[in-house]
Amino acid sequence: MSPTPRKLEIITAASTLFKEKGYSAVTMRDIAKAMGIKAASLYNHIKNKEEILTFIIISLAEEFIKGIAVIKESNSTTVEKLKQIIALHVDIASNNTNGMASLNNDWMHLKDQLDHYLYLRVDYEDSFREIIKEGIEKNEIKNLNPDIMLFSVLSTLRSLYIWIPLKEDMEPSVLASNLSEVLLKGINR
């Protein structure tokens, strides 16, 4: 089940290229060239191109699902939960900026696992929305349209992979706390 080291190298090389040009524009020959081998050699380690994309996306999606499940079931306050979600995104995105690009932009090229991915995504968004709604009911956060709050925060978190490489000097923990400040309290004085 768990990939061999060489397979992981292929996935890593592919992730970098997928981020630069998107899945469809990257050829097996591109991936091979980045590793200094020929395209046919890749098939000693992987089944096909789709398997690479599937691994990148599904393993990341499951990380998020596991993360939010723990947060949701904890007995923290809503604000604490939201901060934990922000930290979760900063953590995962920091450790895999390349893969996050595929998760965001190339999921529609999944075949076998497309339905599974869509299920995970809906599940994640539902959990997130639940936490927001609970916070409104308990009067812990503002009573605004939950979908708009979800959309606003999640859009920022999903774009982290673009900005993190531009701010390499910033510690993930610092980024997470600064982001919490902005997302939770706004920028208005």
Q: CB neighbours (10 Å) of residue 189?
A: 3
Report the C-alpha gap between 119 and 127 in whole angstroms.
12
Report the C-alpha gap between 129 and 106 in whole angstroms.
24
Report the C-alpha gap between 176 and 184 in whole angstroms.
12
Contact between 122 and its own copies (CB under 8 A)?
A: no
| Minimum separation from the CB atom of position 58 to DNA (A) | 17
Contact between 103 and its own copies (CB under 8 A)?
A: no
| Minimum separation from the CB atom of position 178 to DNA (A) | 39
Residue with tokens 């920091």: 94
Give, as ranges, the residues between 47 and 66 that touch DNA (CB under 7 A). Answer: 48-50
Q: CB neighbours (10 Å) of residue 182?
A: 11
Residue among 26 and 101 whose Cβ is closer to DNA: 26
Q: Which residues bind its own copies (CB under 8 A)?
A: 20-25, 79, 82, 105-106, 108-109, 132, 139-142, 144-145, 147-149, 151-153, 155-156, 158-159, 162-163, 167, 175, 178-179, 181-189
